[in-house]
Amino acid sequence: MSARTRAIAEIALACAALLGCALSWLHARAPVQVAPVADGQPVTTSVVYDPPLLLLTLLLATAAGVLAVVGTARLRRAQRGDE
């Protein structure tokens, strides 16, 4: 596998990890109804987060960043070597 092909594969994986990160973030939160604090007060809405999905979001974002940097650096080195 050439350096250019590997760099493009790493950048493609970074894009896939970024997409997974976005999907994980969208599913990590959910609105819930919170009971009133005192009698006669209205019900309020709050947001709860799912910890495992937040961890998955963090890991996918980290992987996407690392793969993007490594892939870009490898692609630049491959282009410089071709000149």
Please provide residue 43's backbone torsions phi and psi, each rounded to the nearest 5 degrees. -75, 140
Structure tokens at 10: 């790493």
pLDDT of residue 79: 87
Query: Rounded CA gap, 61 and 53, in Å?
Result: 12
Q: How many CB atoms lie within 10 A of CB 64?
A: 20
Q: pLDDT, tens digit, for every residue of 36-65? A: 988 899 999 999 999 999 999 999 999 999
pLDDT digits (tens, 9 = 90+) for 2-30: 889 999 999 999 999 999 999 999 999 99
pLDDT value for 83: 59
